[in-house]
Amino acid sequence: MIKRLSPWILAGPASLLVLVFLILPVGSTLIATFTDAKGWAAPYATFFNSGFRRTVLYRTIEISLITTVISVILGFIAAYVVAQMPGRLKSIMIIAAVFPLLTGVVVRSFAWLILLGKNGILNSALLSMGIISEPISMLYTEGAVIAAMVYLFVPLMILTLAGVLEGIPKDVVEAATSLGAAPFAVFRQVILPLAMPGLIVGAVLVFTGSFTSYATPQLLGGERQMMMGTLLYQRAMVTFDWTGASTVAAIMVVVTIAIVMLMTRLARRLNPMAG
C-alpha cells in the first residue's frame, strides 16, 4: 500500500509548490479574462478594438523579432570567432562577452541614454566630426530600443552558441571539405544545421526576453514606443484594470508560445535532429 502511494507522496511537496505558485495564479489570471461581466471574451474584444493596444502588440512583436534576428546574426558571428580561438584566449573572450550580464538591466539601459541623448556621446562625436550639423534625436525611437536590447541579449546568444559550435567536431568539417565542399557549402550544409539546437535555444531566450522586457523600452522608448510590458504595468498599476492586465498577459503567453513553436518547426526542417 505504502509502496504504491510512495511516488505520489514523494512528488507531493514539489507538486504543491507548482500548484500554489504557478498554476493557481496563472489559472486565476486566465479565468479572470473569460469570466468578465460583459461576456466571456469581452476583454479580448476590448483589447483588439483599441487601435492603440493593437499597435503596441504589433510593435512588441516587431521589435522582438528584429532584436532576435540581429542578436542571432551578431551572436553567431561572435561565437564562431570565439570557438576558433585557442583555449586561454577563448575563456577570456567568453568572460568579456558575459561581463555586461553582471550589471543590472536598468544600469545598462541608462548607458544607452548617455550614448544616444541629444547631448550624448554619439551626437557630440558626429557633430565634432562634422558629419551632422545639429544633434539628431535618437532616443525614444524603435531603433534605440532595438539597439539596447540587442546589446542586452547578444551575450546570452554568444554563451549558448559558443558551447554548441565548440561541440562540432573538427574532423566533421574536414570530412566535408575533403568531399569537395567549399567553405560556404560547409557552413550551409554542416555547421548551420549542427548549430541549430543552440540557435533555437538562443533565439527563444532572446525573443521571450525582449517580448516581455519592461525597463529597456520604458527608458529608451518612452511613451511613444510603448511595448506590452509597459502596457501591462499601466493596466495593472495605473488604471487598476486588472482584467485588462490579465488580458495583456494572456495574449503575451499565447504569442510567445506560437512564435517558439514556429521557430522550432523552422529549425527541424534544417536539421531533423534539432528540437
Partner 1 sequence: MTVSLTLDHITAHYGSTQVLEDLSLAIKAGELVSLLGSSGCGKTTTLRLVAGFLEPTSGTIRLGERDLTRLAAHTRDIGLVFQNYALFPHLSVRDNVAFGLKQRGLGAAERTARANAMLERVGLSSFADRMPAALSGGQKQRVALARALVIEPPLLMFDEPLSNLDAKLRVDMRVEIRRLQRANGTTSLYVTHDQEEAFSISDRVAIMNAGKIMQLDRPEVLYQRPANAFVARFVGFENLIAMSVTAREGEMVTAVTQSGATLQLSQTVFGAIPDRFVLAARPEGLAVAREGEGIPVTLGIRTYLGRAYQYQCATAEGNYLGNGPLTDLMEPGAAAVLIPVPEQCCILPSDA
Interface pick for partner 1 out of 22, 182, 258, 262 (rule CB under 8 A): 182
Mask 107-146, x = binds partner 1 (CB under 8 A)? ----------------------------------------
Interaction between residue 239 and partner 1 (CB under 8 A): no
Residues near 194 by Cβ (< 8 Å), separated by ≥ 6? 164, 168, 172, 271
Residues near 107 by Cβ (< 8 Å), separated by ≥ 6? none
Interface pick for partner 1 out of 2, 102, 179, 237 (rule CB under 8 A): 179
By CB under 8 A, the count of residues binding partner 1 is 23
φ/ψ of 131, rounded to 5, equals: -75, -35
Q: Which is nearer to partner 1, 176 or 204 (CB)?
A: 176
Span interacting with partner 1, options 77-85, 93-101, 169-177, 233-241, rule CB under 8 A = 169-177
CB-based contact 224:114 (threshold 8 Å): no
Interaction between residue 1 and partner 1 (CB under 8 A): no
Interface pick for partner 1 out of 185, 257, 258, 262 (rule CB under 8 A): 185
Compute the least distance from the CB of residue 71 to partner 1, in Å.
24
Measured distance CA(78)–CA(152) in Å, rounded: 15
Q: Which is nearer to partner 1, 96 or 175 (CB)?
A: 175
Compute the least distance from the CB of residue 190 to partner 1, in Å.
6
Interface pick for partner 1 out of 17, 172, 257, 258 (rule CB under 8 A): 172
Give the footprint of partner 1 on residues 43-102 (CB under 8 A).
Answer: none
Q: Which is nearer to partner 1, 133 or 178 (CB)?
A: 178
Span interacting with partner 1, options 98-106, 108-116, 127-135, 181-189, rule CB under 8 A = 181-189
Q: Residue 48 corresponds to which cell in the numbers above?
A: 483588439
Interaction between residue 169 and partner 1 (CB under 8 A): yes
Q: Which amino acid is at 235?
A: R
**HSE of 92 in the Cβ direction (CA atoms, 13 Å)?**
5
CB-based contact 106:215 (threshold 8 Å): yes
Cα 104 to the chain's mean position, in Å? 16
Interaction between residue 238 and partner 1 (CB under 8 A): no
Interface pick for partner 1 out of 190, 236, 255, 260 (rule CB under 8 A): 190
Long-range CB contacts (within 8 A, 24+) of 105-112:
105/152, 105/213, 105/215, 105/216, 106/215, 106/219, 108/148, 108/151, 108/152, 109/148, 109/152, 109/215, 109/216, 109/219, 109/220, 110/219, 112/144, 112/147, 112/148, 112/151, 112/219, 112/220
Compute the least distance from the CB of residue 266 to partner 1, in Å.
15
Binding site for partner 1 (CB under 8 A): 169, 171-172, 174-183, 185-186, 189-190, 193-194, 271-274
